[in-house]
Structure 1
Amino acid sequence: MSQTSTDFTSLPALVDAQGALRPRHPAVVLDQRSIDFASLNRLADRVAAALQRDGVPARSVVAICAATSIEYVATFLGSLRAGVAVAPLSPSLNPQTLRAMVQDAGARQLFIDASTREALLGLEAGLGVPCIALDDADAGLAFTRWLAPGDARPAPVEVQPDWAFNLIYSSGTTGVPKGIIQPFGMRSSHVQRATQGGYGPDSVTLLSTPLYSNTTLVSLFPTLSLGGTVVLMGKFDAGQYLELAARHRVTHTMLVPVQYQRILAHPAFAETDLSSFRYKFCTSAPFAAALKAEVLQRWPGALIEYYGMTEGGGRCELRVHEHPGKQHTVGRPSPDSDMRLLDDDGRELPPDAPRGTPGEIVGHSPAMMSGYHNHPAKTAEAEWFDASGKRFIRTGDVGYFDADGFLILMDRKKDMVISGGFNIYPSDIEAVLMAHPDIADAAVVGVPSERWGETPVAFVVPRPGAAADAAALLAWANGQLEKMQRLAALELSQELPRNAIGKVLKRDLRERFGRAP
């Protein structure tokens, strides 16, 4: 990390300072509840003191597997205050995966609620860790009983920038989830970056993605650290989002592309007052150029797309409102990011490589993971070092820089289809499909082929009211595509399988292909 203990202020300390500066300012709002900074800090202190009382030492781990709540935020913050890392886990996990993640994290305690009770049935004894129910449900020890007394204060813990802040388990869209260790210094760099996105004490940030997602945390923690207000949604609904945005005079939001799509399509969008918006952000999934243009045209405020990984490394930033002609790109590397391209042998592309030569994207910045928890070999696979020994994180994405230094993504390296010796990028085919007026969404994957090794197939979601015919769409698409790109099959689908932050689960599509409905 570039930060040292002498110039480092931990995120819990920043939130604590906001409690002294503006104790009655609302910190977190959810449904009809609101908690100010003084109360949030008091609750976080009680969590930290309870962990210390229970013998949970600094630099250990607790897990949270629960629905979005104010108690969730306070428990996360209180754990950090005790120097304890947090593993936020999805409540939709199946029991076996939940057990594996809790055990992999080495969690000393597990915070749950009624939403995770089903996944825990029969597992409590096997987990071997105490369960505390954030909503006081009978799924575990009641949170209000577990908390330290109201006047309790934890023993001070001087966290260091290289200590683990959280373990974010990867979404698992292409393989077995791994625990990504994000250190305190990495989260501190996120706060420092946030000022460039207009976050500050008058910010009101509306977040509708789950608290276990890094997409949410990269906006949640900077907002609180800088004294703003976070408005949370327990579950995304486009109509409710618009109502909350207008009611709270929201200034900032982080959304994934499918959420932008659904909000813009909602009947109430045109009549909702969104004039308070200053910045809208997007990350975590491909953001179509046409959708960016529509957001820019119809929704007040700046629009910024971020390209990066939960693992950290380099980050690109596209200020769409400043560069409307670059909507097909993901922007330029941020000022603190060093991003380079590697050839198929893992060597950096030479400076004299022809403009537009694609390569695997690697990046370095102050925001980088420590590694994958308990997976040193996987960590080594994710790293690349230049001749000077500088550490980079491999993205697994393939792309190239245009003449102005904007990055154009081609596809995930692992999603690339190699057919008859040719590299085929699904995103190129998806872009052609999305140009058809009857197609609302599309995804392309490679499936085994005896003749070609692999061949591309498409899954298409028709637009509402469209009389879409799979054979006709296949014929149309193959008439637009290059010979080597032509689809072997096209299947109609009501929707594409996505995870909680909008990424298409291409592994599920590969498994679905050819299977009887």
Structure 2
Amino acid sequence: MQIETELEKSFGDFGALIGAWGGEKATEPALADSRTQLTWREVAQLTARIGAQLQRDDLQPGQAVAILGTSNIQYALVYLAAIRAGGCAAPLTTSAAPAQLAAMLKDSGAMHLFVDATKLADLKGVALGDIKIIMLDHAVGDHLTLNDWMAEEGTAFAAVTPAATDPFNIIYSSGTTGTPKGIIHSHGMRWHQMAGGFKSIYSHDTRSLVSTPLYSNTTLAVFLPTICHGGFARIMEKFDALAYLGHAQTDKTTHTMLVPVQYQRLLAHADFGNYDLSSFIVKFCTSAPFSVELKADVLKRWPGGLVEIYGMTEGGVVCMLQAHHHPHKLHTVGQPVTGHELIVLDEDDNRLPAGSKGVLTGRSPTMTSGYKNQPEKTREMEWRDADGNVWLKTGDIGIVDEDGFVSIVGRAKDMIISGGFNIYPKDLEELLEQQPEVTEAAVVGMPSEAWGETPVGFVRLRNESSSPDVILERVNGQLGKTQRISVLYSIDEMPRSHIGKLLKTDLRALAAEKRIGRQIRT
């Protein structure tokens, strides 16, 4: 295989590239974690052995291979091997409840579960059905470790050439209630994300630092292109600011993906300025709101470009803000990337004229094949134009400026309807965060007999002696009567997912515990 030629194609075989890089860069490093480092030859050989055993076990084309545990080399090898063997990688969310995990396994149709001992213990007593369990760390009971289970060296591995429509992976959404939806990505979608135009961003010299979980599409957005282009990826089992800085300096890291809270912790670390980060070419950020002030601080203090990515795991439209090229647009999430189209819809799915505020809706070559086993949920997300083209609704409310840059106003499902008026929590959060006492703010809607819903605020304060009531009075004095916040609470930490998303469901539950659900706003 001529690798460079393959990467120029509109569609190619990702699994075959792993074997090709194993020959091209045999002795060069490919993967590392806190305990192990593997060369490209070793990655090619080990994924072939895992793939061969999956095929021996009668893995069917496109069948899911479930993975659950801490991100490390073993995890990454199984993910890559599942794809090489003709299967579909199904990384499961570690933060999900045991019953949710069991439901995900059933939904995925996996016949294998690769799991570490900690997560297996969490599943004790949960019916998992007829599934083969292989341990990612050490043996538990009769369950073999990955090293003992995989095929012996030299076992013939049957290469599988995928079609563009074949499933590449299933990413389960970070649902907070019920069973998360399984978002199917095809080989064609992933290839478009990894190869082609990304040659200007990634190369065989790329050295990525991966510090978010491999079950997250956030992580895969950098991990997969790095592997595709024959680079090197260090996988951190758990994010730690000082360890991250040490790896970045020692490895001469060129690429990374971080969520906003990680940028905050790194820049706030007392030793940040003592590390050499001059090798960075580009730093990415996604998954959560990225404040103007934090973007500006990253640009000022951290070498290399800064790119914010806005989009859904389901695909549709992707926007990118190259912050280092557009420092006057830091309040936006950038423009739709080449080949992506964006429109705005109203609450009744009618298309709105340019400059209107509404639900961001897009189409592109990178769109999910749908939610696994949930066609009705897939249809809820879709919008069809007069020509029958499918567009995907993001659920975000935004506006596009005269230069084509997109600003996010809030989530449609988070919008508060109080007394018949629409209230966007982000407007209130931004005003709260302008107060000198406030470090971070969040606003949610709670039931109100008088108004239907009423805004309730939570803040992290810079000083414990600050009074939420004083802040509330000042802020409400700057708001219209229909927008006023009914009550404001101080909170030590905002509840967040493993990839930094604010969990407003948890805040609503906390508000209910504080018995404010029926409070009437003045």
Task: Please confirm whether the aligned pair reaches a TM-score higher than 0.5, indicating the same fold.
Answer: yes
Aligned to 2:387: 388
Amino acid in structure 1 at the alignment position of 2:148: R
Tell me which of 464, 467, 471 is aligned to 1:473: 471
Cα separation, 1, equivalents of 2:34 and 2:298: 26
In structure 2, what is the equivalent of residue 495 of structure 1? 493
CA contact (8 A) 1:135 1:142 kept: yes
SS in 2 for 1:381: helix
CA–CA separation in structure 2 for the residues paired with 1:197 and 1:257: 25
1:413 — aligned with what?
412
CA distance in 2, matches of 1:76, 1:152: 19
Task: Determine the C-alpha separation between the residues in 1 that align with 2:118 and 2:68.
Answer: 9
Whether 1:25 and 2:42 are equivalent positions in the alignment is no
Q: Is the aligned partner of 1:344 residue 2:344?
A: no
Helix, strand or coil for the counterpart of 2:274? coil
Matched, 1:56 2:55: no
Distance, in Å, in 1 between the alignment partners of 2:208 and 2:266 is 16
- 1:134 corresponding residue in structure 2: 136
Superposed CA deviations along residues 174-225 of structure 1, whole A, max 9, x for unmatched, are: 7741000011111101112662662111111111000100101111110011
Q: Report what 2:513 is aligned to.
A: 515
Shift in alpha-carbon separation, 1:283–1:469, aligned structure 2, 3 A: same
Q: Deviations over 1:125-178 (max 9, x none)?
A: 543201000113316322122100111132121111111111100011577410
Q: Which residue of 1 aligns with 2:86?
A: 83
Q: Is the 8 A contact 1:215 1:254 kept in 2?
A: yes
> Structure 2 CA distance, aligned partners of 1:367 and 1:496?
32
Q: How does 1:117-516 map to 2 (within 5 A)?
A: 117-123=120-126, 126-138=128-140, 140-173=143-176, 176-192=179-195, 195=198, 198-349=201-352, 353=353, 356-463=355-462, 465=463, 467-516=465-514
Amino acid at match of 2:279: S
With normalisation by structure 1, the TM-score equals: 0.95
Query: Is the Cα contact below 8 Å between 2:344 and 2:356 reproduced in 1?
Result: no
Q: Does 35-44 or 436-445 show the bigger shift?
A: 436-445
CA distance, structure 2, for counterparts of residue 89 and residue 415 of structure 1: 26
Given that residues 337 and 363 in structure 1 are in contact (C-alpha distance below 8 angstroms), is that contact kept between their aligned partners in structure 2? yes
| TM value normalised by structure 2 | 0.94
Check 1:466–1:356 CA distance in 2 against 1; reply closer, same or farther (3 A cut). Answer: farther
CA RMSD of aligned residues (A): 1.6
Distance 1:193 1:261, change over 3 A: farther
1:480 alignment partner, SS class? coil
Q: Structure 1: any 5+ residue segments left out of the alignment?
A: 1-5
Cα deviation per residue 1:38-61 (whole Å; 9 max; x = unaligned)? Answer: 100101001110011111111111
Number of aligned pairs?
Answer: 506
For each residue in 1:346-403, what CA deviation from the matched residue of structure 2 results, as whole angstroms up to 9, or x when unmatched?
Answer: 1211xxx3x5311111111111100000000000111111111221111011111111
Point out the more displaced range, 285-294 or 132-141. 132-141
Residues 48 and 82, structure 1, Cα contact 8 Å, conserved in 2: yes
SS at match of 1:157: coil
| Distance in structure 2 (CA, Å) of the matches to 1:183 and 1:392 | 17
Residue 487 of structure 1 aligns with an amino acid whose one-letter code is I
CA contact (8 A) 2:100 2:180 kept: no
Asked if 2 retains the 8 angstrom alpha-carbon contact of 1:173 and 1:506, the reply is no
**Following the alignment from structure 2 to structure 1, what is the Cα–Cα distance between the partners of residues 178 and 105?**
18
SS across alignment from 2:48: helix
Query: Relative contact order, CA 8 A, sep 6+: which one is greater?
Result: 1
Give me the whole-angstrom Cα distance separating, in 2, the residues matched to 1:461 and 1:23: 50
In the superposition, relative to structure 1, how do residues 176 and 59 fare at CA in structure 2: closer, same or farther (>3 Å)? closer
The offset of 1:423, in angstroms, is: 1.0
Shift in Å at residue 91 of structure 1?
Answer: 2.6
**Amino acid of the residue matched to residue 245 of structure 1?**
A
1:40 matched to 2:43: yes
Deviations 1:79-136 (A, max 9, x none): 101110111012333211111110111111111011212212123x543201000113
C-alpha separation in 2, matches of 1:246 and 1:215: 23
Letter of the structure 1 residue corresponding to residue 471 of structure 2: L
Separation of aligned partners in 1, 2:451 and 2:202: 51
Matched to 1:231, the amino acid is R
Deviation for aligned residue 1:231: 1.1
Deviations, residues 312-362 of structure 1 (Å, cap 9, x unaligned): 01100100011111111111100120111112211211xxx3x53111111
C-alpha deviation, 1:483, in angstroms: 2.4
- Mark the CA change 1:193 to 1:410 in structure 2 (over 3 Å): closer, same or farther: farther
Alignment CA distance shift 1:94-1:277 (3 Å)? same
